[in-house]
Amino acid sequence: MKFRKDFVTNSSSSSFVCDICGNVESGWDMSLQEAEMVECVNGHTICQDEMLSAPREVMLRLIQEEMQQSWSRFNGMTDTELNEKTDEELEEMMLERDDGYYSIPEECCPICQFIEYSNKDLAKYLEREYKVSRDEVFDKVKQLNKRRKKLYDSEYVTEVCSRFHLNPAEIVASLKDRFGTYRRFYDYIHKG
Ligand SMILES: [Zn+2]
Ligand SMILES: [Zn+2]
């Protein structure tokens, strides 16, 4: 999750929130790289150290795709030179391609691989499967604290799981069998 707030000055304060552990990094004009986070092709923002290592052929494919572009900083590198790179060097190149945008493929994202989950996704999935209304859960939360303005996804997940005796880790493991790819899971939880 990424948000950015602009002020009258040219500087802006940015915040990055890890979709897995909830870690928040913020600062003036902070980049994803400075926050030590990466973003996957499906828009998940995660801490760099939570990233899975990509198969070598995936990293090579991504770097070679970028080498086709005239602006690529890897222009002039031969396939032989590329093949001699270590996995660590390839990973660095993969992250810094596209001018340091720090984007990673599905293979490197634990959420896309159904190893970890974001509460946002899981809340949407549970709402679809178990039809517990968010308003109802929110009313319960407000009974404990009247000042609460919004229901957190994590609270919704906890409530539905306890009501139906579900274990989030088991649900996430079953999603891989059921949907195969994150894209299909995403389409399922977001269809009208
Ligand atoms: Zn994290
Ligand atoms: Zn992802």
What separation in Å is there between the alpha carbon of 150 and the centre of ligand 1?
23
What separation in Å is there between the alpha carbon of 36 and the centre of ligand 1?
10
Residue 81 parent element (H or E): helix 79-83
pLDDT for res 45: 95
pLDDT for res 102: 74
pLDDT under 70: residue ranges of the chain: 1-11, 98-101, 192
pLDDT for res 174: 94
What separation in Å is there between the alpha carbon of 82 and the centre of ligand 2?
26
Residue 15 parent element (H or E): strand 12-17
What separation in Å is there between the alpha carbon of 45 and the centre of ligand 1?
8
What separation in Å is there between the alpha carbon of 111 and the centre of ligand 2?
5
Q: What do you get for the CA distance between the two ends of the chain, in Å?
A: 22
What separation in Å is there between the alpha carbon of 104 and the centre of ligand 2?
8
The residue behind tokens 């031969």 is 78
pLDDT for res 7: 47
What separation in Å is there between the alpha carbon of 69 and the centre of ligand 1?
32
Measure the CA–CA gap between 81 and 78, rounded to whole angstroms: 5
Smallest-distance ligand from the CA of 183: 2
pLDDT for res 101: 65
